[in-house]
Amino acid sequence: MRELGIGLIGTGFMGRAHALAFRNVSAVFELPFKLKLAALADADPQRARQCAEAWGFDSAHSDWQQLIDDPKVNLIAITTPNHLHYPMAMAALAAGKPVYCEKPLAVSLEQASAMRLAAKAAGVVTRVGYNYQHNPMIGLARELIQNGELGDLISFQGEFSEDFMADPASPWSWRCDAAHAGGALADLGSHLLAMARYLVGDVEAVCADTQTVHPQRPATAGSQQQRTIAVDDQVHALLRFANGARGTFSSSWLKHGYKNHLSFEISGTKGTLTFDQERLNELRLFRAGQEGFQRLLAGPNLPGYAAFSPAPGHQLGYNELKTLEVHDLVMALAGLSQGGTDFEQAWEVERLATAIRMAANESRWVRIEEV
């Protein structure tokens, strides 16, 4: 069995989630490679050393380029703030190494386009961290839709809202900088756009409105100094899908009471399907002619679930979804899977987000082909 050396850049929440997934995937799946946690990088040398030791990586770097150049590293995983995705991914692709990058792909469509073309030229596997699509229940939803259980699709209603920025006294962070992040649309909405495309299909045109509710925030926690906010706090859009369906899309990081409200309701001529990530182990299905919605629970009959639990209703969690995503990545590296979102598909998500921003700025319908 050939060894696959993992190089992880970033040690925040997502860095830890990636580290857990790379450690867990070997415990629950038979893999074509032996995974080796080869190197970890963080700009803080002390934190890099501490996390490398705690998470089981062989070496630590404070310079991410050194990690990419490390001959023991075969796969680059990027979990840094959004504005660093582009230089790191481009360097990894130039080195001919596969890239596993967190979402969104980049902070501009120009960057995303360059990354997409570089990936094509390098001819290596790329994946982007849209891990919610790896939920077995989302796989079931897609199967039901493709098998015609809902009939012809006519509508999509989607929302991804959280409340981690709901308090106007919450301090400025890199997520509030348009050059570094992109607001609620990029941070949360990109997941929902990817989900809409995955389940319903391509979007042809959009009309949208964005709003910055709190134009200033404290520079740091408790500070009297204020910093201007130039990104959206919330976004609402209308969608026209290529298959004729119509849709609504909304995303906010100000919505009190919601912690991970990635939700959708998809309706067709024969039924309706609903999902909420806060109840990620179930779907609700209504078929025309029946009385009330049927609740569908996750269980070992669904691909991926049985690797973690032999019993239905015992439930998977966020880190299991990340492990399932990493499993698809490893199998893709072996040429055994097409699962997951590559740079080409992630570019389509960025293109759609750019169209939404254009539609909001120009107060008109924008066709995706214009972007």
**pLDDT score of 181:** 79
In angstroms, rounded to a whole number, what is the distance separating the alpha carbons of residues 234 and 114? 28
Place of tokens 């921003």: 357
Would you state the pLDDT for residue 178? 85
Calpha distance 338→329 (Å, rounded): 9
In the chain, CATH 3.30.360.10 sits at 133-314+340-370
Mean pLDDT confidence for 298-320: 96
Taking only Cα atoms into account, the Rg of the chain, rounded to an integer number of angstroms, comes to: 21
| Joined tokens for residue 282 | 């179930």
Mean pLDDT computed over 308-336: 97
Name which of 127, 276, 291, 286 is nearest 195 in CA terms.
Answer: 276
Predicted pLDDT of residue 322: 98
The torsion of the CA quartet 237, 241, 245, 251, rounded to 10 degrees, works out to -30
> What architecture (CATH level 2) is domain 133-314+340-370?
2-Layer Sandwich (3.30)
pLDDT (0 to 100) of residue 318? 97
Q: Residue 147: is its pLDDT beyond 90? A: yes
Q: pLDDT > 70: what percent of the chain? A: 100
Q: What would the two tokens of residue 355 be?
A: 């169209």
Which band of pLDDT confidence, cut at 50, 70 and 90, is reported for residue 79?
very high
SS3 268: strand
Digit-coded pLDDT (tens) for 44-61 = 999 999 999 999 999 999
Over 90: is that where the pLDDT of 182 sits?
no
* Secondary structure (DSSP) of 133-200: GGSHHHHHHHHHHHTTTT-SEEEEEEEEE--TT-STTSPP-GGG-TTT--HHIIIIIHHHHHHHHHHT
Token duo for residue 340: 């997951």
Average pLDDT, the chain: 97
Report the C-alpha gap between 109 and 80 in whole angstroms. 18
**Gap between the Cα atoms of 31 and 324, Å rounded:** 12
CA dihedral over 51, 22, 347, 280, signed as positive or negative: negative
- Mean pLDDT, residues 12-21 taken together: 98
CA geometry: angle 304, 12, 103, nearest 5 deg: 60
DSSP state of 341: B
Q: At what angle do helices 318-333 and 13-28 cross, to 10 degrees?
A: 70
Can you say how many angstroms the Cα of residue 97 is from the centroid of all Cα atoms in its chain? 21
Looking at the chain, the domain(s) classified CATH 3.40.50.720 span 2-131
75: pLDDT strictly greater than 70? yes
pLDDT of residue 179: 85
1 pLDDT tier (thresholds 50, 70, 90): low
8 A C-beta contact, residue 255 and residue 161: yes
Q: Which of 164, 166, 174 has the alpha carbon at shortest distance from 220? A: 174
Taking 70 as the threshold, does the pLDDT of residue 248 lie above it? yes
Q: Which architecture, in CATH terms, is 2-131?
A: 3-Layer(aba) Sandwich (3.40)
When pLDDT is averaged across residues 99-118 and rounded to a whole number, the result is 97
Strand residue runs (E) in the chain: 2-9, 33-41, 59-61, 75-78, 99-101, 126-128, 153-161, 203-211, 216-218, 226-228, 234-241, 246-252, 261-268, 271-276, 282-287, 294-297, 366-367
Lowest mean pLDDT: which of 81-85, 180-184, 247-251?
180-184
Query: Which residue carries 């025309």 as its tokens?
Result: 288
pTM score:
0.96
Mean pLDDT of 310-330: 97
CA 227 – CA 220 distance, rounded (Å): 9
278-294 average pLDDT score:
96
